[in-house]
Amino acid sequence: MILKEIIETYLKGWELGDGALSLSVTADSFCYDDPNTGRISRDGLVQFVEDFKTAAIEMGGEVNANPFLQYTDVVIKDDVDPAIVWCWWQAVGTELQGCARILANEDGVLHEKIAYFSRLPD
């Protein structure tokens, strides 16, 4: 799979709320950094996505929202290794939003780190 497809598939998984789809293009060393829950290893990503969707529903999002996340301002810098992806995201139907920085190469998505713009429920 080429780098562009890896990035598009990873983002599509999040957009649809399909953690397994995002997981399918992660590298073995993948980790996800969330300021509220900490570091999530690759084997915890699918459950994290499900928990994230539950939090969005508690904040007013629709059950089975399609799309789950809306991305804007996606910027990809692919002339470096690993490639760097920056984007703004929002859980559809909620005020839950923030930014993400994703690192990826031909091995898959290596790392994602997010920051929240709005507060999460306690």
| 122 pLDDT more than 90 | no
Domain ranges, ordered by start, for the chain: 3-116
Nearest Cα to Cα of residue 15 among 79, 76, 100: 100
pLDDT tens string 6-47: 999 999 999 999 999 999 999 999 999 999 999 999 999 999
Three-class secondary structure of residue 102 per DSSP: strand
The model's pTM: 0.93
| 118 pLDDT more than 70 | no
pLDDT, residue 64, reads 87
- Given a contact cutoff of 8 angstroms between Cβ atoms, the answer to whether 99 and 87 are in contact is yes
pLDDT tens string 60-99: 999 889 999 999 899 999 999 999 999 999 999 999 999 9
Query: What does the alpha-carbon distance between residue 12 and residue 8 come to, in Å, rounded to a whole number?
Result: 6
CATH of domain 3-116: 3.10.450.50
Task: Report the mean per-residue pLDDT for the chain.
Answer: 94
